[in-house]
Amino acid sequence: MTAGSPFPSETDLDPDTLQAAIDAPCHHIHIASAGCLSYYEDSAVEGRPLVLLHSINAAPSAMEMKPLFEHYRSRRPVYAPDLPGYGRSERGDRPYSPAMYADALLEFLAEVVKQPADIITFSLSAEFAARAVPLADDAITSLALLSPTGLSRRQPPSGKITDRLLSFFRLPVLGDGLYRLLTSRPSIRYFIGQAFTGPTPQDLLDYAHATAHQPGAKHAPFRFLSMKLFTPGAIEELYRPLQLPVLVLYDRDPNVKFDLLDELVAQRPNWQAERIQPTLGLPHWEQLAATVQALDRFWLQHR
């Protein structure tokens, strides 16, 4: 660790120094698109595999998907990767992009899951999974999107604006100071707390703080904060062309709007939406029973 710095250098620690987010076997695989990818697996029972993809922000990890992993692990094979740049996965200073995350998912499905799978995404990972579908052949059988991005009338910036934002965040002193502020315990408690109608689980807060202070933890979040991981026009480029069954679970969300969801569902018969109330973006944490009931109905309908 550099003297006077609260963050370890990227060569100080290996992925296993961060405690496991889920009490399940944790494996690592090298993928061409993003280096070392960590994932949790419970494949002790037979059935169609289920892949759980966490969100993208300053401090996410597979911990976000823990309630669904624990619920389904005795019912079907379940996999929960730490997406590139997060959790126990490699966090190098690389050009993280929507295409890179889609490629990582495709490699994970081909190299680890190796059979058609249902996918549940959370927030921005919905866009990555939708981008991967046309290239996945039959590897993805359905998508369930929890509080997905890309359904708002307001479009994210692109081009030179995001380049300038990234340059700002990468300024050595200013960027590090901002990241330190965003990943402080009070900030993490505030931002995650916005997604809960009631008390915020302490284990989720603790793990978010721990994962945000690993070597190289700032690189992927800086791309996220620069808006480089969002796809402008996602509804037309990514969502509307999908042919496979899609379920959206949502309610109110302080960070994500669903302005175009009703119109999309009305126009595309393969899309369904169900409101899980009362929730603020994390239905699988606050209303697990209602969430899994909606998921099970969806999968039963399309078997």
| The pLDDT of residue 17 | 80
pTM above 0.75, yes or no: yes
Split at pLDDT 50, 70, 90, the class of 10 is very low
Task: Report d(CA 231, CA 66) in Å as an integer.
Answer: 27
Burial 78-106 (b: 16+ CB within 10 A, else e): bbbbbbbbbbbbbbbebebebebbbbbbb
Segment 242-276, tens digit of pLDDT: 999 999 999 999 999 999 999 999 999 999 999 99
Q: What is the bridge-based pairing of β-strands 140-146 and 117-122?
A: parallel
Segment 44-103, tens digit of pLDDT: 999 999 999 999 999 999 999 999 999 999 999 999 999 999 999 999 999 999 999 999
For tokens 């046309």, the residue is 134
Token pair recorded at residue 234: 């996602």
Token pair recorded at residue 104: 């990582």
How big is the chain, counted in residues?
Answer: 303
Fold of 21-301: Rossmann fold (3.40.50)
